[in-house]
Chains A and B, each alone.
Chain A
Amino acid sequence: MSVADATLSETQLAAFREQLAAEPIEYDGLAADYDAAEDTYSIETPDHQTSLGAAELSTVAGEQAAYISNWYFYTQQVTTERKHAFCRWLELADDRSVPARYDDLESGIDREWGELTITTTLAADGDRRYEIRHVNDSDADGDALTMHTDPFDARDIGTRDADGRYRPLRTAPSLDSGWIFPKLTAAEVYEAVEAFYPATIVNWHREQRGDLDIDHWRDEQDRQSGIYNLITVLPDEAVEWAAAACCDDSQCLKRREWQLSEDEPLAAEGGDCVFPCREPCSMVVAAGREWAKLEREDTQTYEFELTPSEKEQIEAIIDAVADGTVDDIREADLSEGANRYRARYLREKRFDDDGNLSGTPTHPDGHDDDSK
């Protein structure tokens, strides 16, 4: 539907009249007023100004109708401030005038939220329709994707990755693809996004309004009690490593805004996703607790015999595990250090019967490993 074809339904006109009977309207480029004495309506949009008798109101069409249906959608149908802000962001409302937007909405306006592509289009009456699919399916034929209508299905889609493994962190960049929500209302698109990426809209909105409350690592340490108080002894530089290990965009899409403390920023990349992370999540806190335990150990000097290629191979294996690329290494690709045959060969050659690298015991003085 283009701006020129815009018309108004009886429901929209009734709401418009009712609102003007109470007070004038000013919304998004529309200014309207009702003069009770003359029984006339004055409607002003950036390029047009009209004055209509009550009987003529239903003839409003084109650009002015577009402005009124836009007012109707955003004030009568999307009623909470947060949903309002989100829907406006989805159609780039702050950057474009109503007519320009209505023209763009004809073919659809795409925005990305994490791994979601959300497309807003217009229904005939100016109501919005939303489609959600995985960013990797942007060019896919909609019919080839599994169709969903219930926004809460998003919860199940987000529970496991493409390999069927559990995703404890819903904001990890491992959302499975192959599905589509072809036609959601404003209320439904909000719920679906909330189910895919819980609490991201509200925190984004708080940030937009300039009142995102950030709890830094030290705040978290202060709050922890019980078995988690271990994290209070995690060295500062380990927090840096933990943030780089866990919060990088390759692991979690949220844009990390928390630091060591307000005046002690972390050097690790926070990411550039649209939605922020306002405090260390339970995964990072649980990992921090584990690292706090491990960091209590003192370093020790070991002597290992390795060829230069073997040293590099160990580094390649660590990289492959850390980057999650182990499964990408082909069975017969012996040039890869993390290739399974290469790893098995190294183990045969360099481990003794007790699994010690180069036959070097972990505790040369014979005492037990007290970290276990």
Chain B
Amino acid sequence: MQSLVIVAHGSHLNPDSATPTHTHADTIRATGAFDEVRTGFWKEQPSLREVLRTTHGDEIYVVPLFISEGYFTERVIPRELRLEGWEPELWNSDGISADTATLVASDIDKEVHYCGPVGTHEAMTDVLVRRAESVTGDPEVGNGFGFAVVGHGTERNENSAKAIEYHTERLRDIGRFDEVKALFMDEEPEVDDVTHHFDSEDIIVVPLFIADGFHTQEDIPEDMGLTEDYRNGYDVPATVDGHRIWYGGAVGTEELTADVVLERAADAGADIGDAIARVRQRTNPATQVAGE
């Protein structure tokens, strides 16, 4: 019996923080690839401390719904899950290449496969592209468009900027968008000056964040000048300095993120059949069957 456990931050204040976790869990549950899909949170119930004991499986895959490697994935989650003998070196990662480590969780006295965060998986690039398509409503979008991937910056976590750079590079390699840039909230190049960094008239802006919240719904729209006051909302696209800004909000809310969770588990050895293909199809607006 296979169990998938998605672990995420959650919030005491913002009910939307856990929404992507639940949505992706539902999407994966619907594929039937796992006998059960459980969710656990740092700030909500069930807690990370207790989520493993809610499982019934003997093959357990834990996927952190986090953007980058760092304090949470390396220290908080392994400690709270009680992964015996954990050390970040087991991932043998350069900051964006964590894949999986198999350790005994003393809470349940069973081995679990502890996977790297979704944010650094290569499939996350596809989710960024999907968000560009959904925010513009154009499945072919690319030509004539610039693409800004937005992150926090290095202030709190060096690896968080690495994840941003990684996907920026990959998007550039795909060659679909005219220009691709990494922008940050608290360091240069700053998202505030987004229009200075692009020649393209149309700019897609997508924060590499898991959930919408204060940063993605209030700070970034105001900083870019999409609105004076986030409470009044903003247009998509909004015109700033002669550029059209297509602001997409946190990428983690894109349904296709469920696919990255599956990829992580599959990389760790989970047998998920054709679930990845089905999630890709199910979450694609262009192929969605009416009534699904």
CA A279 to CA B48, docked complex, whole Å: 12
Min C-beta distance of A242 to chain B, whole Å: 15
Tell me, yes or no, whether B91 is within 8 Å of chain A by CB. Answer: no
A168-184: which residues lie under 8 A (CB-CB) from chain B?
168-171
Q: Are A199 and B46 in contact (CB under 8 A)?
A: yes
Contacts of A281 in B (CB 8 A): 45, 47
Interface residues in A, total, Cβ within 8 A: 28
CA A203 to CA B51, docked complex, whole Å: 11
Tell me, yes or no, whether B26 is within 8 Å of chain A by CB. Answer: yes
Contacts of B26 in A (CB 8 A): 152
CA A159 to CA B51, docked complex, whole Å: 18
Tell me, yes or no, whether A225 is within 8 Å of chain B by CB. Answer: yes
Residue of B nearest to A81 (CB): B56
Residue of A nearest to B26 (CB): A152
Select A166's contact among B14, B75, B79, beta carbons within 8 Å.
Answer: B14
Q: Knowing A199-B50, A281-B45 are in contact, say whether A168-B79 is a contact too (CB < 8 A).
A: no
CA A282 to CA B29, docked complex, whole Å: 27
Chain A 191-227 interface mask (CB, 8 Å, partner B; 1/0): 0001001110011001000000001000000010110
Q: Are A202 and B12 in contact (CB under 8 A)?
A: no
Tell me, yes or no, whether A255 is within 8 Å of chain B by CB. Answer: no
**Chain B: interface size category:** 20 to 34
CA A169 to CA B43, docked complex, whole Å: 9
CA A329 to CA B29, docked complex, whole Å: 46
Select B53's contact among A197, A202, A279, beta carbons within 8 Å.
Answer: A202
Tell me, yes or no, whether A155 is within 8 Å of chain B by CB. Answer: yes
Q: Are A155 and B43 in contact (CB under 8 A)?
A: no
Q: Are B43 and A168 in contact (CB under 8 A)?
A: yes
A272-328: which residues lie under 8 A (CB-CB) from chain B?
278-279, 281-283, 286
Min C-beta distance of A165 to chain B, whole Å: 9
Which 3 A-B pairs give the minimum distances between C-beta atoms? A198-B46, A199-B46, A168-B12
| 5 contacting pairs across A/B (C-beta < 8 A) | A166-B13, A169-B45, A199-B50, A226-B71, A282-B42
Residues on A facing B (Cβ under 8 Å): 80, 82, 152, 155, 159-160, 166, 168-171, 194, 197-199, 202-203, 206, 215, 223, 225-226, 278-279, 281-283, 286
